Amino acid sequence: MKDLNDLIDTNLGGQPSFQRKEFKMGNELLNFHFRDTLQCIQMLYGDTAFVQDLALVPEQHYTSDDQMCRIVNEMHTGDWWWSTQVRNMIYDKHGNLGMFPGVT
Please report, in angstroms and rounded to a whole number, the separation of the first and last CA atoms in the chain.
11
pTM, 2 dp: 0.45
Virtual CA dihedral for 17, 37, 81, 70, nearest 10 degrees?
20
Q: How many CB atoms lie within 10 A of CB 42?
A: 21
Alpha-carbon distance of 10 to 24, in angstroms, equals 37
Q: pLDDT tens digits, residue range 47-84?
A: 888 888 887 777 888 899 998 898 888 877 778 777 77
Backbone angles phi, psi at 103, to 5 degrees: -95, 130
Check if the beta carbon of residue 60 is closer than 8 Å to that of residue 70.
yes
pLDDT at 84: 72
